[in-house]
């Protein structure tokens, strides 16, 4: 099992990035969440099988049609983030 926190920058708001990321994550059987930031980025936390997490990160580098991803920065999640991990994959406001 793997867990990753990612921050995606570029044109990633107003292009259905969160809903599309949720769809991808759910199809891969991942738990976690995705949200917009006030700086115009998208953040997500995903947990599940290593290959599924890797597949989601690959998708994040492209995003949905209309998105222009500039960067995907990843790090290991911090303990408080993992304690708040939902069983499904949610879109947060």
Can you say whether the dihedral through the CA atoms of 36, 63, 22, 85 is positive or negative? negative
Please say if 18 is a catalytic residue: yes
CA distance 65 to 6: 20
Map tokens 């991942």 to a residue: 30
Identified catalytic residue from 7, 18, 35, 92: 18
Of 36, 68, 75, 93, catalytic: 36
The yes-or-no answer on residue 92 being catalytic is: no
Catalytic residue numbers? 18, 36
């Amino acid at each position: 099992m793997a867990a990753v926190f990612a921050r995606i920058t570029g044109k990633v708001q107003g292009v259905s990035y969160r809903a599309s990321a949720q769809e991808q994550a759910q199809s891969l059987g991942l738990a976690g969440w995705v949200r917009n930031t006030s700086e115009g980025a998208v953040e997500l936390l995903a947990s599940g099988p290593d290959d599924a997490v890797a597949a989601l990160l690959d998708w994040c580098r492209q995003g949905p049609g209309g998105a222009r991803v500039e960067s995907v920065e990843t790090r290991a999640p911090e303990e408080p983030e993992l304690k708040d991990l939902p069983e499904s994959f949610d879109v947060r406001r």
